[in-house]
Amino acid sequence: MLKLTRSPPPDQVLLGGVFMLKARHLTVRNLLACTSILGLSLLFLPDAVLGQSQVRPEPQERLNPQDSPALEGGVVTIGKVAVGDLTFHPLFNSLGVEREIASLIYGDGLLRVDESGTPSDGLAYLPFKLSNGRDWVFRLKQDIEFHDGEPMTAADVIFTYTRYKAARVYDPVFHRYFQNIDQITALDQQTVRIIMKSPIETFPNRLATLPILPRHQMGPGLFADAGAHLETTRPIGLGPYRVASWPVHDTVTLEANETWHQGRASLDRVVYRFYPTSESLQAAFIMREVDLIEVERDGTLKDLKRARSDAKIQAIVPGSRAFSAVFYNHRHPLLADLAIRRALTFATDRQRILEEVLVRGAGVLAQGPLHPDFEFKGGDMEFDYRPREALELLRLQGWEDGDGDGFLDREGRPLRFELLFPRGQTSAEKTVRVVKLNLNHIGIQVVPVPVTQKELVQRLGIGSYDAALFVQDFEPTADDLYAVFHSESIGLGNMLGYRNRQVDRNINFLFGLPDQYRAGPVYQQLEMLLVRDQPCMFLYFVDTRYIAYDPTLNNLGRPGEALRSPAAWFRTEHAP
């Protein structure tokens, strides 16, 4: 576990030995005001960009090497909103930024999987399938080394898979697959044999892409069952970048792995610098402290272009599909009540949240966990903004303002709960503000509680919350439905504590269907059940994100596609 620690400057404080950044007073609008006072010439964009419509992302074209050749080496600094502890170990990271950095350190698994789900060679060649899918043999590639020069062998693969199998806390889907593994053995130093209890048609991609851990470093002291891991030594992996300095402070600096098996990355160093709020992050980009940030709101895009006219804006597709939701703890006596959960959704203007939080057209309203574009999505049941219907639902359950304080109560108990949300994120603050105003309007007391993103995830994991604003990674697959909504995943991926036998049966049925198209009616019934139950308040899907970046950065990916790994980026001397 990495604590962002150092002797703090005046605008920073140390809390409990963990480096915590105080919100700087320098904001985007402060900077705009300052530049106007100084008489600096600002580049205002055309009306098509800075008018009532959203900022248009700029196309990123491949460079003509003769016009602006790629530079060898160079450094890129990526800005992120994050405070508190960071953990890079693949078994225990839970934040997006942790997974992002860990992927650069640990690299590929035995196989790689492209966007279509097709596997290809990774650290090993495609496996041999024997005994009708009961035996799988992987041949490791030669001369692949960890960052410290130690060679990767079959012993590292066996160690890794044994640790993952023991760590049920890691992922309920992995646990489901690992349950079917009978034996993992080494035929020689470069060959691994995995024997299944029951034959399988294809080797699961999720198992094949697990990063391989260094047995020589972690073997003596890591116990995956513990549920916690303090990284007291520098992380060692097989990825394109290695940790440059240890321990880390307010930044994480990675340096190129000279012996990476795919060939040395172009950039010498990739630096992650952390800021406590979205506003301080945007100010850092304008002041050129960082080269790339993610931007959420339309107005922010316009402000960034006014204050830093050379900035490039690009639309990207999120690396994985996700929905934003208010998670309910079903162990809570109030939020376990179906009528209350339905009333909360009816009473919340989710369309207003979508419009205030995201760039116009960057997302769509969520009625359930299945995206509107999903081919098997079905059912017309929707929860529009109908506060009167919400109030009527509650009155039928006996909730009234009995003491005249403006809030509902029943038998002396107020209808009140806490709502956790990630501190420093503008989008989260705006969402919580709308939820609180809407629910207070019909007499429900909501107490917003800002916490770090890390604490939010940890409290969700142990069930120490009433309600929480959370972005759930979710693909419309049997795996993710099992992880998030199946009762067997309670305490793991199912952080809601949600139980529904019919939902469980339908998810189990999906695993047994060899033909995807026969699964259509099952998905439709699952959607109907989950929309009806409202296990959480589904808010919206994010379809498009925006990045602002320095114009000398290249090969980030085509507009409208996923952002490429920093291992593929390079710099040019001048902007194209």
Domain ranges of the chain: 2-92+239-316+546-572, 108-226, 322-542
192: nearest Cα among 179, 174, 173, 208: 208
DSSP secondary structure string for all residues of 16-58: TTEEEEPPPS--HHHHHHHHHHTTPPP-PPPHHHHSSSPPPPP
Dig out the tokens for 435 from the structure: 């939820």
Q: How far apart are CA 398 and CA 394, in angstroms?
A: 7
Pairing of strands 70-71, 570-572: antiparallel
**What's the pLDDT score for residue 94?**
66
How crowded is residue 391: how many other Cβ atoms within 10 Å of its Cβ? 19
pLDDT tens digits, 7-35: 333 333 333 323 333 334 455 445 444 44
Please, which residues have CB within 8 angstroms of residue 329's CB and are 6 or more apart in sequence? 335, 463, 465, 466, 467, 468, 496, 497
Residue type, 156: D
Dig out the tokens for 191 from the structure: 């060959």
Sign of torsion, CA 325 326 332 333? negative
Dig out the tokens for 163 from the structure: 């640790």
Helix, strand, coil share of the chain (percent; to 5): 30, 25, 45
CB 533 within 8 A of CB 369: no
Q: The domain 322-542: what is its CATH number?
A: 3.10.105.10
CB 367 within 8 A of CB 538: yes
The neighbouring-strand residues paired with 242 are 255
- Is the link from the previous residue into 247 a cis peptide, with omega within 30 of 0? yes
Residue type, 135: D
The residue behind tokens 């959480």 is 536
pLDDT tens digits, 520-542: 899 999 999 999 999 999 999 99
Q: The domain 2-92+239-316+546-572: what is its CATH number?
A: 3.40.190.10
When the candidates are 3.90.76.10, 3.20.20.70, 3.40.140.10, 3.30.360.10, the CATH number that belongs to 108-226 is 3.90.76.10
The neighbouring-strand residues paired with 163 are none
**What's the pLDDT score for residue 60?**
47
The neighbouring-strand residues paired with 14 are 19
Q: How far apart are CA 97 and CA 547, in angstroms?
A: 15
Tell me the pTM. 0.81
How crowded is residue 196: how many other Cβ atoms within 10 Å of its Cβ? 17
Pairing of strands 2-3, 70-71: unpaired
CB 421 within 8 A of CB 432: yes
**What's the pLDDT score for residue 1?**
47
Q: Which residues of the chain have pLDDT under 70?
A: 1-71, 83-84, 93-94, 167-175, 220-232, 248-249, 297-299, 378-380, 514, 516, 576
Q: How far apart are CA 141 and CA 122, in angstroms?
A: 8
